[in-house]
């Protein structure tokens, strides 16, 4: 398992300027990500990419709490993304809940989903945990699929529209003003990033590292490892649920594919590509993945094959991911 | 029922089976409070299995473990530190990629903040100071910032003891703390153990009989999963059966 290398103390000062810069960024990791995301729409090759990076970066970030920091592979995180998206959408479409409280409903529902799934899966270990979470997420898929009245079944949920957002001084037209929409979503993401960093940097965050390093020793020290894992799973689910909720509002629809295991696979690939257990990895991974996907789709119809090959190359030769390898390189 | 009883921990008819194999057979033994008791016996005698049962790694197949008058059989492992029972494993068991200081700090934190998701770690100065003091105590003062995996074998064992001391245990359990150590390292470790035993009850598992004869107040001898003898070092030295077991094995 890789250690979280963006931790300030972990990055050795090599005397080079680059290392100093990275150290500075790591010290202010929340500000660094937020500032980057603020300017990103201007750097992005095309605007539609920006919101996707925001949403999927947040999804991979939440996933990384379990995968990278706790050291446990879940293959069921689609359930949390999907639960967040559906609960937000259903609250708005069927119960007339305004969009902001609806987001909270979405986040809470994904937390609840994670609590139930976690309670059933957390005793299993290693590959069995991956299998059980995968199976449980498939159950969520079928439940939602068959709640056709509310979820729209195979066609997905439509009509999750937010037309305008009124701030008193300014009004953002969510349909016509993609930049305005982006910054509204960024506001939510920024709060999530702040909370995420705070959790990692807390005593609880230290327990996650300890469990990843040596579960047995953590238990002997006096930590209830099962309960800690479960709490982590739920926290992780909350972040992924927010990503799903934002996605529902962004697209105005919730496709059933959000609950598909392919969606769980996206989180795994993005976290691995960017660097598991690193703070910036998930956003870098989401960006790299989405850009690659778009580029390759334009070039060939066999894009999945090429994407798969690139992914394999990373797993085999750069298991630290893009950001993890970079940190390793500068701290030699 | 009160802490004034003379025994701090007691095993009553403890049996442990692994499948069909009986590793411990109906072992009853008491450990006097405030003393250093050694559990000895040749390799494969069942010492580690006995150690694991009384330290809560797994429950016995039959029998009970009584700590301070309370039945603690089947109590989950994580609750032991808070009961005041700490241990170091036979096989070195630390957090390899964390610093020595963080290894001990994590162990201290387990007593206070297990689910605090809010306080920045930088504010935990008191815990870090306590951890530094414990490192001083076991002689790792100058290794605070080194990763545990980079410490020498003897230093890792000492680190483990510092971690065990983090919960200020009333009962300290050590499974072959000198295993794999050089004679010099062994001397340092035995000295540390005698110092620790001045302030708390220590149970020391060891297969080298010679090593513990001089320092323990009380001995328990296991052989083939059964209690062979129990008594003072003099009793044990004069015990014919113990002699036969150890001589038969060709070591002391
Ligand atoms: N988990 C286990 N599964 C099966 N057999 C075991 C297990 N642990 C120990 N044993 C067996 O129990 C016996 C006692 O082992 P152990 O308690 O480690 O002895 P000691 O520590 O005295 O050398 C050995 O024969 C060992 O092979
Ligand atoms: Mg042993």
Instruction: Please tell me which residue of chain A has the smallest CA distance to B79.
Output: A222
B18 lines ligand 1 (CB under 6 A): yes
Annotation: CATH topology of B1-84+172-182+201-252:
Rossmann fold (3.40.50)
Q: What is the largest CA-CA distance in chain A?
A: 62
Atom 27, ligand 1: which residue's CA is nearest? B44
Would you say residue A298 lies in a domain? no
Cα torsion at A17, A321, A80, A255 (round to 10°)?
Answer: 110
B58 lines ligand 1 (CB under 6 A): no
Q: Is it the case that residue A229 has pLDDT exceeding 70?
A: yes
Whole-angstrom distance, CA of residue A324 vs CA of residue A322? 6
Contact A210 B82 (CB under 8 A): no
Structural domain harbouring A108? 44-264
Q: Is it the case that residue A12 has pLDDT exceeding 50?
A: no
Alpha helices in chain A, H assignment, sequence order: 17-27, 29-43, 47-64, 78-95, 99-121, 126-146, 148-151, 178-200, 203-213, 215-221, 225-251, 261-274, 281-299, 303-317, 321-330
Q: Pick from B186, B176, B208, B190: which is nearest to B42 by CA?
A: B208
CATH 3.40.50.300 location in chain B: 1-84+172-182+201-252
Whole-angstrom distance, CA of residue B221 vs CA of residue B133? 35
Closest ligand 1 atom, CA of B90? 21
Averaging pLDDT over each range in A7-16, A224-233, B227-236, which range is the top one?
A: A224-233
**CB distance B179 to B186 below 8 Å:** no
Higher pLDDT, A166 or B161: B161
- Chain B contacts of A203, Cβ < 8 Å? 109, 113-114, 116, 119, 121, 124
Whole-angstrom distance, CA of residue A306 vs CA of residue A304? 5
Quote the percentage of chain B above a pLDDT of 90. 85
**CB distance B182 to B219 below 8 Å:** no
Q: Is it the case that residue A9 has pLDDT exceeding 80?
A: no
Confidence of residue A306 (pLDDT cuts 50, 70, 90): confident
pLDDT of residue B248: 65
**CB distance B202 to B196 below 8 Å:** yes
For A248-285, write each residue's pLDDT tens digit. 999 999 999 999 999 999 999 999 999 999 999 999 99
Question: Picking from A51-55, A171-175, B114-118, B207-211, which range would have the lowest pLDDT averaged per residue?
Answer: A171-175
Q: Is it the case that residue B150 has pLDDT exceeding 70?
A: yes
Q: Is it the case that residue A16 has pLDDT exceeding 80?
A: no
To probe the interface with B, which of A70, A194, A218, A220 has the most B CB atoms within 10 Å? A220
Confidence of residue B119 (pLDDT cuts 50, 70, 90): very high
Would you say residue A297 lies in a domain? no
How many Å from the N-terminal Cα to the C-terminal Cα in chain B?
Answer: 39
Question: A-B interface: how many C-beta pairs under 8 angstroms?
Answer: 93
Q: Is it the case that residue A46 has pLDDT exceeding 90?
A: no
Q: Is it the case that residue A14 has pLDDT exceeding 90?
A: no
Whole-angstrom distance, CA of residue A218 vs CA of residue B98? 13
Confidence of residue B138 (pLDDT cuts 50, 70, 90): very high
Would you say residue A23 lies in a domain? no
Closest ligand 1 atom, CA of B176? 21
Contact B97 A198 (CB under 8 A): no
Q: Which ligand is nearest to the CA of B58?
A: 1
Mean pLDDT of B10-39: 96
Would you say residue A176 lies in a domain? yes
**CB distance A245 to A85 below 8 Å:** yes
State the DSSP code for B145: T
Mean pLDDT of A294-309: 86
- Chain A contacts of B147, Cβ < 8 Å? none
Q: Pick from A236, A214, A211: which is nearest to A225 by CA?
A: A211
Ordered strands of the B21-32 beta sheet: B21-32, B7-18, B62-67, B70-71
Measured in Å, residue B18 CA sits from the centre of ligand 1 at 8
Higher pLDDT, A173 or A168: A173
B115 lines ligand 1 (CB under 6 A): no
Higher pLDDT, A15 or A89: A89
B201 lines ligand 1 (CB under 6 A): no
Q: Tokens representing A185? A: 């979503």
For A234-254, write each residue's pLDDT tens digit. 999 999 999 999 999 999 999
Ordered strands of the B171-175 beta sheet: B85-88, B171-175, B201-206, B36-40, B218-223, B226-231
For chain A, the domain total comes to 1
> A296-320 burial string, b = 16+ CB within 10 Å, else e?
beeeeeebeebbeebbeebeeebeb
Q: Tokens representing A270? A: 């993005």
pLDDT of residue A1: 44
Question: Picking from A169-178, B8-17, B81-90, which range would have the lowest pLDDT averaged per residue?
Answer: A169-178
DSSP character string of B47-90:
HHHHHHHHTTSS--SEEEEEETTEE-TT--GGGHHHHTEEEE-S
Give the three-state DSSP class for B147: strand
B47 lines ligand 1 (CB under 6 A): yes
For A157-171, write each residue's pLDDT tens digit. 998 888 888 777 778
Strands B85-88 and B171-175: parallel
* Closest CB to B78 among A214, A225, A235: A225
B interface toward A at CB cutoff 8 Å? 76-82, 86-87, 89, 93-98, 102, 105-107, 109-111, 113-121, 124, 163, 166-167
Q: What pTM did the predictor assign?
A: 0.92
How many Å from the N-terminal Cα to the C-terminal Cα in chain A?
Answer: 18
CA-based R_g, chain A, Å:
19
State the DSSP code for A23: H
Any idea which residue has 């033994």 for tokens?
Answer: B29
Would you say residue A287 lies in a domain? no
CA dist list (Å): A34 to A183, A208, A292, B142: 11, 25, 23, 39
Distance of CA A27 to the CA centre of its chain: 22
pLDDT of residue B249: 57
B154 lines ligand 1 (CB under 6 A): no
- Residue B183: which H helix or E strand, with range? helix B183-197
pLDDT of residue B98: 96
Q: Pick from B4, B29, B50, B44: which is nearest to B224 by CA?
A: B44
For A286-297, write each residue's pLDDT tens digit. 999 999 988 888
Measured in Å, residue A227 CA sits from the centre of ligand 2 at 30
B20 lines ligand 1 (CB under 6 A): no
Confidence of residue B245 (pLDDT cuts 50, 70, 90): confident
For A110-141, write each residue's pLDDT tens digit. 999 999 999 999 999 999 999 999 999 999 99
pLDDT of residue B78: 96
Q: Is it the case that residue A8 has pLDDT exceeding 70?
A: no
- Chain B contacts of A221, Cβ < 8 Å? 81, 106-107, 110, 163, 166-167
Confidence of residue B209 (pLDDT cuts 50, 70, 90): confident
Whole-angstrom distance, CA of residue A229 vs CA of residue A211? 9
**CB distance A87 to A74 below 8 Å:** no
Sign of CA dihedral B7, B71, B38, B24: positive
Give the three-state DSSP class for A280: coil
Q: Which ligand is nearest to the CA of B49?
A: 1
pLDDT of residue A11: 46
Closest ligand 1 atom, CA of B46? 17
Quote the percentage of chain B above a pLDDT of 70. 96
- Chain B contacts of A202, Cβ < 8 Å? 116-121
For chain A, what is the mean pLDDT? 92
Alpha helices in B68-182, H assignment, sequence order: 80-83, 100-109, 125-137, 153-165
Give the three-state DSSP class for A160: coil
B42 lines ligand 1 (CB under 6 A): no
Atom 14, ligand 1: which residue's CA is nearest? B46
CA distance B186 to chain A (A): 23
Would you say residue A26 lies in a domain? no
Measured in Å, residue B47 CA sits from the centre of ligand 1 at 8
Give, for ligand 1, the residue of B22, B43, B48, B180 to mutate: max count of ligand atoms closer than 8 Å to Cβ: B48
Query: Angle formed by the axes of helices A261-274 and A126-146, to 10°?
Result: 140
pLDDT of residue A13: 45
Q: Is it the case that residue A188 has pLDDT exceeding 50?
A: yes
Give, for ligand 1, the residue of B18, B22, B246 to mutate: max count of ligand atoms closer than 8 Å to Cβ: B18
């Amino acid at each position: 398992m890789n250690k979280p290398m963006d931790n300030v103390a972990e990055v050795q000062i090599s005397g080079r300027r680059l290392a100093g810069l990275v150290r500075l960024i790591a010290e202010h990791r929340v500000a660094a990500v937020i500032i980057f995301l603020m300017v990103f729409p201007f750097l992005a090759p095309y605007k539609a990419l920006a919101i996707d990076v925001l949403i999927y970066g947040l999804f991979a970030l939440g996933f990384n709490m379990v995968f990278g920091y706790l050291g446990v592979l879940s293959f069921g995180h689609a359930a949390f993304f999907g639960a967040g998206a559906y609960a937000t959408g259903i609250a708005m479409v069927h119960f007339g809940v305004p969009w902001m409280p609806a987001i909270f409903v979405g986040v809470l529902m994904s937390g609840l989903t994670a609590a139930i799934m976690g309670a059933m899966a957390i005793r299993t270990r290693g590959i069995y945990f991956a299998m059980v979470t995968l199976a449980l997420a498939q159950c969520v898929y079928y439940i939602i699929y068959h709640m056709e009245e509310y979820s729209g079944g195979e066609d997905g949920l439509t009509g999750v529209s937010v037309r305008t957002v009124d701030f008193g001084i300014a009004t953002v037209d969510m349909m016509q003003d993609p930049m305005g929409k982006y910054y509204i979503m960024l506001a939510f993401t920024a709060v999530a990033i702040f909370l995420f960093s705070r959790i990692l940097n807390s005593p609880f965050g230290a327990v996650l590292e300890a469990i990843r390093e040596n579960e047995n020793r953590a238990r002997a020290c006096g930590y209830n490892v099962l309960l800690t894992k479960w709490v982590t799973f739920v926290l992780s689910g909350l972040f992924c649920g927010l990503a799903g909720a934002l996605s529902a509002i962004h697209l105005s629809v919730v496709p059933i594919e959000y609950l598909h295991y392919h969606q769980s696979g996206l989180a795994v690939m993005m976290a691995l590509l960017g660097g598991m257990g690193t703070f910036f990895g998930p956003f870098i991974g989401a960006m790299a993945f989405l850009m690659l996907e778009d580029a390759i789709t334009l070039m060939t119809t066999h894009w999945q094959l090429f994407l798969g090959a690139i992914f394999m190359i990373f797993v085999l030769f750069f298991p630290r991911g893009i950001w993890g390898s970079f940190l390793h390189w500068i701290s030699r | 029922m009160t802490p004034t009883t003379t025994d701090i921990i007691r095993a009553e008819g403890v049996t442990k089976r692994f499948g069909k194999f009986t590793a411990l057979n109906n072992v009853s033994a008491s450990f006097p409070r405030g003393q250093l008791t050694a559990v000895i016996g040749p390799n494969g005698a069942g010492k580690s299995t006995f150690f694991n049962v009384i330290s809560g790694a797994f429950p016995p197949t039959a029998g009970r473990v009584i700590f301070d008058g309370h039945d603690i059989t089947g109590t989950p492992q994580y609750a032991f530190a808070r009961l005041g029972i700490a241990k170091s494993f036979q096989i070195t068991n630390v957090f390899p990629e964390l610093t020595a200081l963080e290894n001990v700090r994590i162990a201290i934190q387990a007593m206070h903040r297990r689910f605090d998701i809010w306080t920045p770690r930088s504010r935990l100065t008191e815990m870090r100071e306590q951890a530094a003091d414990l490192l001083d105590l076991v002689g790792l003062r100058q290794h605070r910032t080194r990763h545990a995996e980079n410490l020498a074998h003897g230093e890792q064992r000492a680190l483990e003891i510092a971690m065990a001391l983090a919960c200020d245990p009333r009962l300290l359990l050590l499974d072959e703390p000198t295993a794999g150590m050089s004679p010099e390292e062994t001397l340092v470790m035995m000295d540390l153990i005698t110092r620790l035993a001045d302030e708390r009850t220590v149970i020391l598992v060891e297969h080298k009989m010679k090593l513990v004869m001089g320092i323990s107040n009380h001995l328990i001898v296991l052989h083939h999963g059964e209690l062979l003898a129990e008594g003072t070092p003099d009793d044990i030295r004069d015990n014919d059966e113990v002699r036969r077991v150890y001589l038969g094995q060709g070591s002391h």
